[in-house]
Every structure is written in structure tokens, then in C-alpha cells.
Amino acid sequence: MPGIVLVGAQWGDEGKGKATDLMGNRIDAVVKFNGGNNAGHTIVIEGEKYALHLLPSGILTPGCTAIIGNGVVIDLGVLFEEIDGLEARGVDTSNLVVSSSAHIVTPYNRTLDKVTERFLGSRKIGTTGRGIGPTYADKMARTGIRVQDIFDETVLRAKVVGALEFKNQVLIKIYNRRGFEVDAVVDELLSYADRLRPMVTDTPLLLSQMLDAGKTVVFEAGQATLLDVDHGTYPFVTSSNATAGGACTGAGVPPTRIDRVIAVVKAYATRVGEGPFPTELLDEDGEKLRQIGAEYGTTTGRPRRCGWYDAPVARYAARINGVTDFVLTKLDVLTGWEQIPVCVAYEIDGERVEELPAGQREFSAAKPIYEYLPGWTEDISGARSIEDLPDAARAYVLALEAMSGARISVIGVGPGREQTVVVHDLV
Ligand code: GDP
Ligand code: IMO
Ligand code: MG
């Protein structure tokens, strides 16, 4: 089972980091294929908490090659901060490899992300302010700076001059800000070159060789299906392809090398930032989910919007990604509700609609139609097999499985690595 894609099924923060970590020493490499330090993955190992942003989760598994793929955008300052933070805690990061074609988040793009959001006012996206959108925009406009460019000062300088000719006009004339000096930007990027050089390689070639040798590779998505720039709730999305197809372009492997697609889905739903969210709870149930589930962003610390499980969203994720297995996380958070609403369809303009509508206007107008499932009161955080779950919790899982379009292979009952029920092995 060599090529495994792992994606988020909802709006992010489903527990992808924990899911990758669970596969542990059965995998040889983990590739991050999209996004940048907008992502935040919390992994808890023997009570120790690690928060990763740019580094693939595999960095915490001894012997696993951690790969930052060509589809990622890298803030080099953040990369080295994260490496230093892990090294200081005794984690060996020497197994990190970086694509020479990944794009770099420049200082002017960090600024542009923040000032654009302020400029948009009530039309803002609610970005993480990490420069992700402007960096992907440069990539598509063919004015981006790539990892390989910082090893050639002449090329780098020419690119920065070209970029700033335009960006400084925007910053000064539209946003009333100061522009950036070419030398300052070039010097900052060059300052990382020596340290970065030994990590950089042709990652699509490395991956092809690993897969040929029968190694097991996990392609780990940042963000999630409904934040995908093509398949999400556009324009309230991130600027990359976070769905399974993105693994091929973002890592440089053909679709024929993907054997399994795992989607991580929370037993309820959360979203950070703006955009439609049909099952959102603005009442005390929402607050209760946020408190019990500790639903505050790993990257920005923002409170996450919380709501009930949305089965049409899960079915959509199953279809768009070709999901073979779901990892259902945070079932423990639902302990204590007398009954648990699950959205089974929407009412849109007076009609019952079973699938996610393709139109953004329709999705924004969608009202959830709920089915109410019986709750449970027993503490389930110690469950290690499906038989350990109370009948109502097991029935909840089976009901979700029946309405979500793929089998549920793993159930999370707590943040710890061991707080997991495995129904079918992932690897
Ligand atoms: P990611 O971005 O998808 O990797 O997810 P985050 O790390 O941003 O958010 C998921 C949070 O839920 C983290 O704090 C995890 O430690 C935590 N978590 C993961 N699985 C479970 C679970 O089954 N139960 C509980 N209570 N917490 C979990
Ligand atoms: P992980 O990998 C949740 C959201 C932001 C905003 C939108 C665009 O931890 O699941 P961006 O900075 O990417 O331009 O912001 O996307 N967003 C996330 N929400 N989890 C994430 O990553 C996210 N990465 C971006 O809140 O709404
Ligand atoms: Mg996260």
C-alpha cells in the first residue's frame, strides 16, 4: 500500500496531524503538498504537545523522511524557527527534505496579505495573515520566487526588482504604506541560503524512487476540502488545492501511484475565518463544543466557529477526494448531550436538497435538516476497541458511516496518540 493521500473532509483542523502520526513507523515518508504556515497541526505524544505549521507531521517519527513538496509555500524564517524549536526539544530534524521548486513567502507578500484584508473590510476572507494568498497569486502570475532562486543572487535580485516594481506601487498608492527596499528583501532571503541548501533536492524524483522501491508514502494535505480553491466555498477558501488531486501536482507524482485516500472528519464541525457554514451554532451548544473540544486555532488562536456534523459535506468530501477510509475524530467531545443533531440534507429555497449545491448563493442560503441521534453520558476517552464504546456512541458512528460515503476506519476518543479505536488498519 505505498501511496496514501490524507486530506481534511471539512474546513480544516479535523486532526490531520494526529492521523498522520498514528500511521507512525509503518510509513517511510510524509510529504506536505499544499499550503504553508497557515496550517497548524497539534500532535500529542505521551502527554507532550507539538504544534507544527510548515513541517510535515512525519518529522516527529524517527526514520521517516519529511518532505516539503513543490506545491507548498515556504516562509523561511518560520521554517527555521520551527526546526530550532523541535531540535531544542530533542527531535531529530535531519530527515527533512525541501523541493527546489516550492515557492517562498516574501516579506512584501506577508504585508500585502494583511493590508488587503484590512482594505476589504466586511468583505474580508479572514485569512491567517501569513502571506499565503499573495504568494500563490505570484506563482500563478509567474512572478514568484522559488527555493532554487535564492542560490543565485543575480536571478534572485532580478526577480525581486521585477516584483517590487509592481508591489511597491500597490503598497504606496493604494494602501498608503511604505514600499520595500530591494536590498533588504534580497539580503533577508540570501541569509537563509547556506542553511537551506543541504535540504534541497528534486523531490518528485526522490518520491518516484521511493515508490518504485515499495516504500510507503503519505501525502499530507494542509487545510481541507471546503477550503480548496477549486472545490471549496469560494471565495472563502485558501489559495491552494487541498483535495486529493492536489497531492499529484503538489508533490509531483502521477495519479496512478495513489492507492488509498484517507479523509479526516470531526464528529461535529468547525470553521475558522469567514464564509458559509450551514450547521453553525451561535448558541450555548456552540460555546459548549468550543470549550469541551478546545476549539481555538493552532495558528492564530482565534476561536473556531462550531456546529453539528454535516453529512452532505462529508459525502461531498468522499466524492471529490475518492475517499477510501474516514478517520472520525473527537467523538469524546460529544459525550454528555442527550441527543445529537446531525445534518442529513439542506432546505434551499423551500426545497429539500441532498447534496452540496454547486452554487455559492445556494450554499449560503442552505438551512440544515436535522436527524436527532441518541447521546451517551459514559466517558469514552479510555475506549480502545469498538466494543468499549457505549451502544449510543457506536450507533452514532454507524449512522455517520451510512450517510457519509465511505467506511469509518479509525475513531478518535482523545488527543493522545493512544486515544484511538482502530476498526480497519490505515496502512
Ligand atoms: P489539523 O490541522 O487537522 O492537524 O488539526 P488541529 O491540530 O489544528 O486541530 C485538531 C485538535 O484536536 C488538536 O488539538 C488535536 O490534539 C485534537 N484532537 C485530535 N483528535 C482528537 C480526538 O479524537 N479527541 C480530542 N478530544 N481531541 C483530538
Ligand atoms: P489546517 O491545516 C483552518 C482558513 C483561514 C481563512 C482561509 C484563508 O490546520 O487545517 P489563508 O491564510 O490560507 O489565505 O486563509 O482559510 N485556513 C484554515 N482554517 N485550518 C487551517 O489549516 C487553515 N488554513 C487556512 O482561517 O478562512
Ligand atoms: Mg489545524
pLDDT digits (tens, 9 = 90+) for 372-386: 999 999 999 999 999
Report H helices in 191-346.
193-196, 203-212, 244-251, 284-292, 311-321
Mean pLDDT of the chain, nearest integer = 97
Residue of 423, 426, 358 whose CA lies nearest to 23: 426
Q: What is the pTM of this model?
A: 0.97
Cα 259 to Cα 218: distance, rounded to the nearest angstrom: 10
Determine the pLDDT at residue 298: 86
Domains of the chain: which residue ranges?
A: 3-93+202-422, 103-197
Which CATH superfamily is 103-197 part of?
A: Adenylosuccinate Synthetase, subunit A, domain 2 (1.10.300.10)
| CA pair distance 304, 299, nearest whole angstrom | 11
| Cα-to-centroid distance, 425 and ligand 3 (Å) | 24
Give residues with Cβ within 8 angstroms of 34, minimum separation 6.
Answer: 69, 71, 72, 221, 222, 223, 240, 241, 242, 246, 250
DSSP letter string, 116-130? HHHHHGGG-----SS
Give the residue, out of 53, 330, 418, 421, with the most ligand 1 atoms within 8 A of its beta carbon, to mutate for a pocket test.
330
The yes or no reply on domain 3-93+202-422 and CATH 3.90.170.10 is yes
Considering every ligand atom, which ligand is closest to the CA of 73? 2
pLDDT digit of tens for each residue in the chain (427 aa)?
Answer: 599 999 999 999 999 999 999 998 899 999 999 999 999 999 999 999 999 999 999 999 999 999 999 999 999 999 999 999 999 999 999 999 999 999 999 999 999 999 999 999 999 999 999 999 999 999 999 999 999 999 999 999 999 999 999 999 999 999 999 999 999 999 999 999 999 999 999 999 999 999 999 999 999 999 999 999 999 999 999 999 999 999 999 999 999 999 999 999 999 999 999 999 999 999 999 999 999 999 999 888 999 999 999 999 999 999 999 999 999 999 999 999 999 999 999 999 999 999 999 999 999 999 999 999 999 999 999 999 999 999 999 999 999 999 999 999 999 999 999 999 999 999 9
- Peptide bond before 255: cis, by omega within 30 degrees of 0? no
Ligand nearest to C-alpha 116: 2
- Measured by CA distance, the residue closest to atom 15 of ligand 2 is 127
Q: Is the minimum distance from the CB of 16 to ligand 1 under 6 angstroms? A: yes
Query: 383 alpha carbon to ligand 2 midpoint, in Å?
Result: 31
Q: Which residues surround ligand 3, an ion (CB under 5 A)?
A: 13, 40, 298
Q: Using a 6 Å cutoff on CB, does residue 329 contact ligand 1?
A: yes
Tell me if 298 CB under 6 Å of ligand 1: yes
CA 28–ligand 1 middle distance (angstroms): 23
Q: 3-state DSSP call for residue 426?
A: coil
Q: How far is the CA of 128 from the centre of ligand 2 (A)?
A: 6
What's the CA gap between 294 and 43, in Å, rounded?
Answer: 14
